[in-house]
Amino acid sequence: MDDDVILNYLEELAEKLEILVRDENINIDCSPLPRKYYRFGKTLFALSHDMKIKDALQIVSSEGKDNWTDSKHIICLLAHLHQAMVYEKQGYLEIMRLPTISGWSRWSNNQGYIQSEKKNQSFIVSGEKGIIDVLNTIID
């Protein structure tokens, strides 16, 4: 599936969620930007489907510059590869890949992807200390 088709679908989904979820404590970012930045206390999160790891420090420090200098922890969460792993730390930037809860599909099978364990990760975050715990939930 083409990346533009996926992005359009996700934008539409976010807009529909924004209409359905009317809670002042929930923010749904419907912007078409491929990377989103969210600050919680002294922790800055960079969220993206994917990016080249070697370019992450330059991208996140440039795009997130308004929040970069006041942050003690900068955490880049990536998806795409469908398996959890911590890649590396580049200065203050910690880069992590998230697992997936998606199941088997004809497309993933045609691509030759092997079905990995379906798992979701939730993070307990301290505004001052960054991620202080990770909860793994296996989906049957």
Query: Confidence class of residue 45 from pLDDT cuts 50, 70 and 90?
Result: very high
Confidence (pLDDT) at 81: 67
**How far is CA 92 from its chain centroid?**
17
Residue with tokens 């004809």: 106
Using the predicted structure, report yes or no on whether residue 66 has a pLDDT greater than 70. Answer: yes
Tell me what the mean pLDDT of segment 66-73 comes to.
Answer: 88
Using the predicted structure, report yes or no on whether residue 98 has a pLDDT greater than 80. Answer: yes
Compute the distance between CA of residue 123 and CA of residue 12 in angstroms, rounded to an integer.
26
Query: Tokens in use for 134?
Result: 């990770």
The sign one gets for the Cα dihedral 104, 96, 73, 124 is positive
Is 55 in a helix, a strand, or coil? helix
